[in-house]
Amino acid sequence: MSELFDAVDALIAGQSPLPPTAERERLRKAHGLSQEQVASALKVRRATVVSWENGKTEPRPPQREAYARLLNQLAELYPAEPPKPEPAPPAPPVQAPALPAQAPLAPSAPAPAPTSEPAPVAPVAGRTVPPRPDYHGVIIRGAEPTTAEQPPRRPTPAPKTPATKAPVRASTKVTRTPAKTATATAVPPDPRFANGPLGVLDGDGSLYCVGGLVLDCPATTMASLVEWTLDESRLGSPRLNRNGKDGDPLIVLTDAAAQRLGLPPTLEDRRGLRLPEGHKVLKQLAKAHWQLTRRGFGPWARIYRPADSGRRRCVQFAVLPWGALDARSWGGADHLPPEELAVVLGTFARRVITPRGSTAVSGLELMTALRPPTRAVRDEASGGWLSGPVPGSLTEPVDPAPPEAPDEHPVVAALFPRGHQRTPAEVLDEEAYEWVRDPQLLTDAECERPYAVGIDVNTAFLAAANRLPVGLGAPVHVTGPAFDKTVPGSWLIDLSGIEPDPRLPSPFTPHGVRPEGPAWYATPTVAYAYELIATYRLPVTLAPLEAWVRPDSGPYLDPWYKHLSEAYKETMADLGIVSGMGEGEFLTAMTTHKETDPGMGTVLSAIKSTVKGGIGKLRERPQGASYKYGERWPALERPTWRPDIRAAVISAARINMHRKILRTALATQSSPAPDGHLTFGEDALIPVALLSDCAVYLSDGPSPLDVLPHTPEGKPAPGSFRLGVSPGMVKHEGTQDLLWAVQMLDAGLNPARHIKGNDAADDGE
């Protein structure tokens, strides 16, 4: 009989009533207990106690009985204070005399709408860490009032559902800290992606998401993890363009999580970076009918099933122990604690895009996400829907013109034997500057300046993409064309007749040496040649010999520029650098801005790498040991494989740099040069070295303020370099002494590469 009584007692205890969630936390704190102490006593994880206290999950037997017993005893020791009586309502105002019966009352103004709250989301097992803001100002709090006048509400009881699907409390609110500039109404999150774009999975099953949210993930295999992510996690991101696709959820696997899921700590295939065929994880996925993309299961893996009725079923994975986060772009982010890594990656995902591979891949994917190639259009004949091109987008793969293609491309391999060194008249060579001045050309005035000061253009390639017209279709060959600066293309033309000051680099070659005859150039370079002739009245006549032009054109990269520009400036603002700062204030703040917030410094580095890598991906070369020279490779089948667009961006960036160099020289020389000559006085400020977007000048002082010219009113000289945070403006790169710079020049080294104290080419700019 006692056994029956014990069973009845256990049955009743299994449904023991529990106090409201806020009361559970109050009782624990009243007795001075930590969540770890409660978890240890009940033999559960601390995360489980957190979930019990915030209402995300409810305890199950046998812990429920013990937890109820604990709370009941604490309630006897620390009874709740009785509620204070509410104050009497104020006396009603004096009513106006009643209107005559025949005069209808005017309708009263509608009451203001209550503060909107996020819509309740589908049940998810989860918990929140103690409230703290993430890097974009979002705080997850439990049962907080929305205003000072509105008291907290009791959370509604959780419905009885399976423990893995306990609902999020309806009282959980998302609030935003005041913006640093203008305040804006927060856009309610998409309920499909209520928990953000991504999560970082640790070995104990904790999935750290944005906003401090932590979900309990029960999956112990890759197949079950994919299922749980798609069905339970509420992760993902809304599309950036109405014709695009929603972002797939990203799960980042720590070392411990990878081990828990059966993944090896390192990849044996160091060349292909793939799990070998026949690995047990691949067998599990195949048995569950999940598929992998052509790149297989590597550091960045995409696991999916074919779309069914337009519904995507795809999850992306980043495996940290396999080097998913490149240190050149992300620094030491892969060594951050999971909760901090979730903040860094979540901020990047919100401002740029959910990472989908390297930052170069993300930069290219962002172009497509902002300008999708196709959209749904109605077929007038059948009344159904068809896939049609999106105006202004790159809609289909096109082969490049022969001078635009790399050597191994089939269109070039068919023209020249392997190993042939193409001449400037056979290949388009639009690359960034790498130039040093001959030390014999240093003037006496320059040798008296004790410092070498480097200035660096902010995201120079991004600034060059702004309002840049690029071809949208295939190239058309033209013989003896008339040049038109509004038509994107590649032009065979002789620019050797334009002779600049010998102290200056040529604007037409990346090495700064004056061209010797006809060569291929992108439209921005040829347009600048015509501009120089007109501005300085040079006695030169230009006539293109032939061209590959793209009449169908548009500013394809404009949305990409705007999106990344805002991300860059918003992240710089988090680091204390904002538009409108005085030049001195800006230089002072820049000396320590990355130490202000290391996490945001990592995001900044990733954004700059996204710009640089995205442009580079437009001419992705073949990869893998199995590739044979002259064959096509997978990247060629992308609409975004466009070496001509890459060439146009780099050309525009180099021309922008040269134009500002000339404006700076003009503003600093004492007397103007005569018409018909592109030369400057000995006192003109001319750089001694260039590397991509960095220029080194010899200076009387150690600061850029000692170099950059200003008007008598103290403003930057028109058209010259300007200090500031926006793309295209400049910052201080570094300062060394004159002797150091001269020794670099004598040794044939580039001072611009080393003036910062490290290799500037690896700095993500």
- SS (HEC) of 388-428: EECCCCCCCCCCCCHHHCCCCCHHHHCCCCCCCCCCCCCCE
Phi, psi of 126 (to 5 degrees): -170, 180
Q: Is the domain of 21 the same as that of 132?
A: no
Residue 197's Cα: distance from chain center in Å? Answer: 13
Query: Residues of the chain with pLDDT > 90: what percent?
Result: 68
Q: Is the domain of 308 the same as that of 203?
A: yes
CA 614 to CA 605: how far, in whole Å?
A: 14
Q: Is the domain of 141 the same as that of 48?
A: no
The pLDDT of residue 6 is: 54
In this prediction, residue 402 has a pLDDT band, given cuts at 50, 70 and 90, of very high
Among 103-117, 422-436, 486-500, 697-711, whose mean pLDDT is lowest? 103-117
655 close to 728: Cβ distance less than 8 angstroms: no
Q: Is the domain of 208 the same as that of 289?
A: yes
Assess whether pLDDT exceeds 80 at residue 658. Answer: yes
Phi, psi of 674 (to 5 degrees): -70, 155
Tokens of 55: 């209402």
Assess whether pLDDT exceeds 80 at residue 647. Answer: yes
In this prediction, residue 638 has a pLDDT band, given cuts at 50, 70 and 90, of very high
Instruction: Kindly report the average pLDDT of the chain as a whole number.
Output: 85
Q: Is the domain of 333 the same as that of 264?
A: yes
Burial 436-468 (b: 16+ CB within 10 A, else e): bbebeebeeebeebebbbbbbbbbbbbbbbbeb
Cis bond before residue 518 (omega within 30° of 0): no
The pLDDT of residue 25 is: 86
Residue 33 lies in a domain: yes
CA 131 to CA 137: how far, in whole Å?
A: 11
Q: Is the domain of 140 the same as that of 208?
A: yes
CA 549 to CA 747: how far, in whole Å?
A: 42
Assess whether pLDDT exceeds 80 at residue 194. Answer: yes
Residue of 93, 90, 135, 723 whose CA lies nearest to 456: 723
Give the amino acid at 429. Answer: D
Among 38-42, 92-96, 512-516, whose mean pLDDT is lowest? 92-96
pLDDT, mean of residues 744-762 = 84
In this prediction, residue 759 has a pLDDT band, given cuts at 50, 70 and 90, of low
Assess whether pLDDT exceeds 80 at residue 81. Answer: no
pLDDT, mean of residues 238-259 = 96
The pLDDT of residue 181 is: 36
Q: How many domains does the chain have?
A: 2
CA 479 to CA 461: how far, in whole Å?
A: 31
CA 254 to CA 201: how far, in whole Å?
A: 6
241 close to 372: Cβ distance less than 8 angstroms: yes
Assess whether pLDDT exceeds 70 at residue 103. Answer: no
The pLDDT of residue 83 is: 52
Helix 558-574 and helix 598-617: axis angle, to 10°? 160
Residue 12 lies in a domain: yes
Give the amino acid at 589. Answer: A
Q: Give tens-digit pLDDT for 548-589.
A: 999 999 999 999 999 999 999 999 999 999 999 999 999 999
Give the count of beta carbons closer than 10 Å to the beta carbon of residue 165.
14
Cβ-proximal residues to 533 (8 Å cutoff; 6+ apart), any chain: 498, 540, 542
Assess whether pLDDT exceeds 60 at residue 59. Answer: yes
Residue 243 lies in a domain: yes
Q: Is the domain of 61 the same as that of 130?
A: no
Give the CATH number, domain containing residue 60.
1.10.260
Give the amino acid at 232. Answer: E
Cβ-proximal residues to 658 (8 Å cutoff; 6+ apart), any chain: 505, 507, 528
Tokens of 636: 């060629």
CA 714 to CA 725: how far, in whole Å?
A: 19
Residue 760 lies in a domain: no
Q: Is the domain of 50 the same as that of 138?
A: no
Q: Of 357, 391, 423, which marks where a domain is finished?
A: 357
Q: Is the domain of 61 the same as that of 142?
A: no
CA distances from 663 to 188, 356, 681 (A): 48, 41, 13
Residue 695 lies in a domain: no
Residue 458 lies in a domain: no
729 close to 458: Cβ distance less than 8 angstroms: yes
Among 144-153, 625-634, 688-697, whose mean pLDDT is lowest? 144-153
The pLDDT of residue 15 is: 57
282 close to 303: Cβ distance less than 8 angstroms: no
Q: Is the domain of 131 the same as that of 39?
A: no
Residue whose entry in the numeric block shows the structure tokens 């600034």 = 463
Q: Of 77, 112, 136, which marks where a domain is finished?
A: 77
Residue 599 lies in a domain: no
CA distances from 432 to 346, 398, 723 (A): 32, 25, 21
Residue whose entry in the numeric block shows the structure tokens 């819509």 = 119
Q: Is the domain of 235 the same as that of 342?
A: yes
pLDDT, mean of residues 505-530 = 97
Q: Which DSSP category does 237 fall into? A: B
CA 240 to CA 524: how far, in whole Å?
A: 30
Q: Of 314, 330, 357, which marks where a domain is finished?
A: 357
The pLDDT of residue 7 is: 54
pLDDT, mean of residues 653-672 = 94
Residue 221 lies in a domain: yes
In this prediction, residue 60 has a pLDDT band, given cuts at 50, 70 and 90, of confident
Q: What range does the domain containing 36 cover?
A: 2-77
pLDDT, mean of residues 487-497 = 98
Which ranges of 449-539 would DSSP assign to H, the alpha helix? 460-465, 523-536
Q: Is the domain of 176 the same as that of 322?
A: yes
Residue of 50, 47, 63, 80 whose CA lies nearest to 13: 63
CA 460 to CA 422: how far, in whole Å?
A: 28
Residue of 525, 529, 522, 515 whose CA lies nearest to 547: 522
The pLDDT of residue 106 is: 38
